[in-house]
Structure 1
Amino acid sequence: EYEDGDLSSWINRERFQGYLHVDGFTLYELGDTGKLVAIAVIDDKNSSVEHTRLKSIIQEVARDYRDHFHRDFQFGHMDGNDYINSLLMDDLTIPTIVVLNTSNQQYFLPDRHIESTEDMVQFINNILDGTAEAQGGDGLLQRIKRIIYDAKSTIVSVFKSSPLLGCFLFGLPLGVISIMCYGICTADTEGEVFEHEGAKKESGDRELTDEGSEEEQEEEKNGKYTELSDGELKQKDIMEKKKD
């Protein structure tokens, strides 16, 4: 047993130098150390004071405060923000400093500009004592956000690399779905028209039937009246003959 745990854990934590040039593969490997990764995101081709100053601040903290932070932090710089933006699903402007927790996908951004080594040390202490705000994570909402972000990134990259292929891949399914929806809506409308016409025809037949029934009833009544009239006339004739 060692102060930092078993031997394999100690080797994992100590197998990297205190300061690294970080890329995607290195960041993945740093996940096994269990450390937070403090990165200066800069443009190596940009020699302006702001870019070189942040890189120097990270290097000074890694060197001068090794005894304080080496157990919990790994320091380095990253060239460009493309990878870090895709990892954080955010749009970081460079130069900037970000601290990653590779175990739970959380990250920390300074709430003010880092102007000196003391500012960086204060930022790290805020992370250690829990006063710095953590962003990201691996919760359900973040996973849904990751799915949406990856889908959006894939679509954008396809259209950027080959617009015609993108139109074919995404336009064809949309066209088929649109035709299916149009067919379903049209079929429903035609069905309603047929039902309406059938109902009108049925009601018309009923009206004709009712009219025919009324005429038959009137004819029966007229026939009865005629029969009654003939009977009355015959009775009158008989009565007159008796009188004579």
Structure 2
Amino acid sequence: EYEDGALSSWINRERFQGYLNVDGFTLYELGDTGKLVAIAVIDDKNSSVEHTRLKSIIQEVARDYRDHFHRDFQFGHMDGNDYINTLLMDDLTVPTIVVLNTSNQQYFLPDRHIENTEDLVQFINNILDGTAEAQGGDGLLQRIKRIIYDAKSTVASVFKSSPLLGCFLFGLPLGVISIMCYGICTADTDGGIYEHETAKKENGDRELTDEGSEEEQEEEKDGKYTELPDGELKQKDIMEKKKD
């Protein structure tokens, strides 16, 4: 029996050196250790004082403070920020220090510029005692943010590599959808106009029919009076006046 758990867990924690050149695959493998990963994100091709100094600081902490932090931290440096930006969905400036918690996708950034080993040690101690602010995570909002970020990255990469292909892939579906929406809207409008004109035409025909019927009745009445002899016509007029 081991103080820190099973033998396999101890092997996972101890199978890496105290300081590594970290890349995407190495970072994935470090997830099995259960340790926080402190990384100096630098440009190996940049020989400026700022880049070399930050790399020296994290190497010094990994070496001189091994007994303090080796149980909980893995140290290393990464060349460039492309992979780390994709992982964190953030745009980190180079050079910088970032500490990753691979178990829950959280990360920590220093609240001030790291000038020496004391600043880095203080930053690590703040993480251990819980006073450092954690960012990221694997909650629902972060998952939604990840979906949106991946979609935007995919679209941007397609247009960057092949603009014509990007226009075809994304422009064609948008064009078809726009035509369908336009067709639906114009079909409803034309249908309404057609129904209105039809109803108006039917009302006009009905009015003409009514007027024609009245005219026919007048003509029939006049015709009946004309067909009667003069004596009968006068007698009929007298009868109508008496009725009135």
Between 100-109 and 163-172, report the one with greater CA deviation.
163-172
Give the conservation status (yes or no) of the 8 Å contact 2:97–2:110.
Answer: yes
Q: Hey, what does 2:98 align to over in structure 1? A: 98
Q: 1:65-87: per-residue Cα shift (whole Å, max 9, x none)?
A: 11111111110000000000000
Q: 1:48-96: per-residue Cα shift (whole Å, max 9, x none)?
A: 1111111111111111111111111110000000000000011111000
CA distance in 1, matches of 2:221, 2:62: 117
Instruction: Check 1:123–1:234 CA distance in 2 against 1; reply closer, same or farther (3 A cut).
Output: same
For residues 40-189 of structure 1, the aligned pairs below 5 Å read 40-189=40-189
SS at match of 2:60: helix
Deviation at 1:232, TM superposition (A): 8.6
CA distance in 1, matches of 2:110, 2:158: 34
SS at match of 2:100: strand
Deviation at 1:37, TM superposition (A): 0.5
Deviation at 1:42, TM superposition (A): 0.2
Instruction: Check 1:239–1:210 CA distance in 2 against 1; reply closer, same or farther (3 A cut).
Output: closer
Q: Hey, what does 2:16 align to over in structure 1? A: 16
Between 85-94 and 173-182, report the one with greater CA deviation.
173-182
Deviation at 1:202, TM superposition (A): 2.1
CA distance in 1, matches of 2:243, 2:2: 151
Q: 1:87-108: per-residue Cα shift (whole Å, max 9, x none)?
A: 0011111000000011111111
Deviation at 1:160, TM superposition (A): 1.3
SS at match of 1:206: helix
Deviation at 1:2, TM superposition (A): 1.1
Give the conservation status (yes or no) of the 8 Å contact 2:225–2:233.
Answer: no
CA distance in 2, matches of 1:74, 1:132: 18
Instruction: Check 1:223–1:72 CA distance in 2 against 1; reply closer, same or farther (3 A cut).
Output: farther
SS at match of 1:133: coil
Instruction: Check 1:204–1:233 CA distance in 2 against 1; reply closer, same or farther (3 A cut).
Output: closer
Q: 1:193-220: per-residue Cα shift (whole Å, max 9, x none)?
A: 2112112112212322443455466668
CA distance in 2, matches of 1:126, 1:187: 65
CA distance in 1, matches of 2:189, 2:240: 76
Instruction: Check 1:15–1:215 CA distance in 2 against 1; reply closer, same or farther (3 A cut).
Output: same
Instruction: Check 1:5–1:226 CA distance in 2 against 1; reply closer, same or farther (3 A cut).
Output: farther
SS at match of 2:46: coil
SS at match of 1:175: helix
- Alpha-carbon RMSD across the aligned residues, in angstroms, is 4.2
CA distance in 2, matches of 1:144, 1:239: 96
Instruction: Check 1:227–1:127 CA distance in 2 against 1; reply closer, same or farther (3 A cut).
Output: farther
Instruction: Check 1:222–1:150 CA distance in 2 against 1; reply closer, same or farther (3 A cut).
Output: same
CA distance in 1, matches of 2:226, 2:59: 125
Give the conservation status (yes or no) of the 8 Å contact 2:42–2:79.
Answer: yes
Between 137-146 and 168-177, report the one with greater CA deviation.
168-177
Deviation at 1:144, TM superposition (A): 1.0
CA distance in 1, matches of 2:239, 2:198: 61
Q: How many residues align?
A: 244
Identity of aligned residues (%): 93
Instruction: Check 1:213–1:125 CA distance in 2 against 1; reply closer, same or farther (3 A cut).
Output: farther
Q: TM-score, normalised by structure 2?
A: 0.88
Between 179-188 and 149-158, report the one with greater CA deviation.
179-188
Between 12-21 and 193-202, report the one with greater CA deviation.
193-202
Deviation at 1:162, TM superposition (A): 1.4
Q: 1:124-161: per-residue Cα shift (whole Å, max 9, x none)?
A: 11111111111111111111111111111111111111
Unaligned runs of 5+ in 1: none
CA distance in 2, matches of 1:178, 1:240: 75
Unaligned runs of 5+ in 2: none
